[in-house]
Structure 1
Amino acid sequence: MRELVFALEYKPGCNRVADALADHPNARIRSLSLHATSENLWRVDHVTGDSDALADIENAFLTSDYYADCLATEDCGATQSTKVLDRTDNTLVLYSYWERTPDCASVPHIARDHLGDGVLFETRHEGRHYTWRLIHSDEGDVAAFFDDLETAVGECAQMEMLRTTETTASKGSTSRNASDLSPEQEAALRAAVDHGYYESPREVDVGELAKHLDMPRSTLTYRLRRAEEHLAKQHVANKSVPEEPPASL
């Protein structure tokens, strides 16, 4: 089995859910389950954020002209239904069912075409950044998958490969290191260090650094967050934790 992780960064106006998330930087969406056949797609999304964010994201799911995860740039004639399964003050759980037409395109269906049945999907949506994690049998054609995905995405989003690796590696293996970062994440991290972003006090804030690198602030923030997450998890996985905390001085 292989793990394939990539991200789509949607441009404004191309995806209503991404637009709603961009308006609420602290909101997040992650898929709990996502399954696809050649004609259908089912998924459950877990949304976190404040009440305004939840209302806007729910509205984006419920009132879109076509399914929010469809890669078509206009109404493709699909039949979709979204229902609220659960709601609290800061969480929202949505169930979606989508019946596609020959004009529809989505990441799961393109994956089925090239990677075969039984592909597992996990997604995380923050702002305009949509990260996909796929587990597949390694018997398909990954290059063809990305070629078709790039065609379907068109000008609406920028694709970024984050990693592809065997899923059998031990979580505690020391072979997982900073080189597991994507080139874009590593470049962002190096630039942040070089320009004093991690100094105390900081010599540059994320907005100034983004302007210096000539990239959107949201893109830089996303890459730094993902790099920091990976390095923190790597440190904890490889560091033995003492059973008793050290005595206070």
Structure 2
Amino acid sequence: MRELVFALEYESGCNRVADTLASHPDARIRSLSLHATAESLWRVDHATGTPDALAAIEDAFLDTDYYADCLATEDCNATQTTEVLDHTDETLVLYSHWERTPTCASVPHIARDHLGDGVLFETRHEGRHYTWRVIHSGAGDVGAFFDALEAAVGDCARMEMLRTADTAAPAGDTDGERRGLSPEQEAALRAAVEHGYYESPRAVDVGELAAHLDVPRSTLTYRLRRAEETLAKRYVADTRLPTELAPQL
């Protein structure tokens, strides 16, 4: 089995949910379940954030006629149903079902076309970044998949490859990546250290660092957050002792 992890960074005005999350930077959406056939797609998403953010996310899902992963830049006349399964002050759970039309395109359907059946998907949406984790058999044409995805996205989003690996490979030993970071994440982390971003007090803020690297502030924030998450999880995994070897208090 093979794993692909990539992110789409949406331009302003191209994706209602991305615009909503950009206005509520502490909010997050992750998929609990995502399935696609040749004709349809259905998924369950879990959102966290402030009450105002969750209300805005709910509106974005319910009021957008063709949101459910369709990459069309205008109304493609697809039929979508979205239902709220749970809504509290801190969480929102949504179910979406989408029937395709001939003009529709989506990451799952493009993946089915080029990577075959039995593909698994996991997503995370924060700010303008929509991160996809795709697990497939390894028998498909990955290059054709990304070419078709780039053509479907067009000018609405930039695509950033984060990881491609054998799912059985040891962490950090994937296609030459070191420590599990993408080249963009490692470059961002190195620049942050070299310019004093992690000093106390900080010698540079994220806006100044983004200007130095000539990338949008949101992009740099996303890369640093993902790099920090990867390194923190790896540190905990590498230093965790088995229960039977833990010191007795």
Same fold (TM over 0.5): yes
Residue identity matched to 1:110: I
Partner of 2:147: 147
After alignment, is 210-219 or 156-165 more displaced?
A: 210-219
Residue identity matched to 2:128: R
Pairwise mapping of residues 72-151 of structure 1 onto structure 2 (< 5 A)?
A: 72-151=72-151
After alignment, is 110-119 or 236-245 more displaced?
A: 236-245
Residue 9 of structure 1 pairs with residue 9 of structure 2:
yes
The answer as to whether partners of 2:7 and 2:129 remain within 8 angstroms in 1 is yes
The superposition leaves residues 65-114 of structure 1 with CA deviations (integer Å, 9 ceiling, x where unpaired) of: 32242100000110001000011111000000000001000000000000
User: Unpaired segments of 5 or more residues in structure 2?
Assistant: none
Cα distance in 2 for partners of 1:240, 1:38 equals: 43
After alignment, is 87-96 or 232-241 more displaced?
A: 232-241
Cα distance in 1 for partners of 2:181, 2:108 equals: 24
The answer as to whether partners of 1:185 and 1:226 remain within 8 angstroms in 2 is yes
Partner of 1:30: 30
Pairwise mapping of residues 1-249 of structure 1 onto structure 2 (< 5 A)?
A: 1-170=1-170, 175=173, 178-241=178-241, 243-244=246-247
Cα distance in 1 for partners of 2:21, 2:179 equals: 30
The answer as to whether partners of 1:178 and 1:231 remain within 8 angstroms in 2 is no
Cα distance in 2 for partners of 1:67, 1:10 equals: 13
The superposition leaves residues 179-211 of structure 1 with CA deviations (integer Å, 9 ceiling, x where unpaired) of: 421111111011101100111221111111112
User: Unpaired segments of 5 or more residues in structure 1?
Assistant: none
Residue identity matched to 1:45: D
The superposition leaves residues 89-147 of structure 1 with CA deviations (integer Å, 9 ceiling, x where unpaired) of: 11000000000001000000000000111100000000000000011000100000000
Residue identity matched to 2:166: E
Helix, strand or coil for the counterpart of 2:96?
strand
Helix, strand or coil for the counterpart of 1:155?
helix
TM-score (ref. length: structure 1): 0.94
The answer as to whether partners of 2:173 and 2:180 remain within 8 angstroms in 1 is no
The answer as to whether partners of 2:68 and 2:97 remain within 8 angstroms in 1 is no
The answer as to whether partners of 2:172 and 2:180 remain within 8 angstroms in 1 is no
Helix, strand or coil for the counterpart of 1:233?
helix
Cα distance in 2 for partners of 1:140, 1:162 equals: 19
Helix, strand or coil for the counterpart of 2:155?
coil
Cα distance in 2 for partners of 1:240, 1:20 equals: 38
By how many angstroms is 1:245 displaced? 8.6
Q: Given the superposition, is the C-alpha separation of residues 174 and 22 from structure 1 closer, same or farther in structure 2, using an over 3 Å criterion?
A: closer
Cα distance in 2 for partners of 1:2, 1:13 equals: 33
Residue identity matched to 1:64: T
Residue identity matched to 1:100: R
What is the Cα-based RMSD across aligned positions, in Å?
Answer: 1.6
Q: Which runs of 4+ in 1 moved over 4 A?
A: 173-177
Q: Given the superposition, is the C-alpha separation of residues 245 and 8 from structure 1 closer, same or farther in structure 2, using an over 3 Å criterion?
A: farther
Q: How many residues align?
A: 244
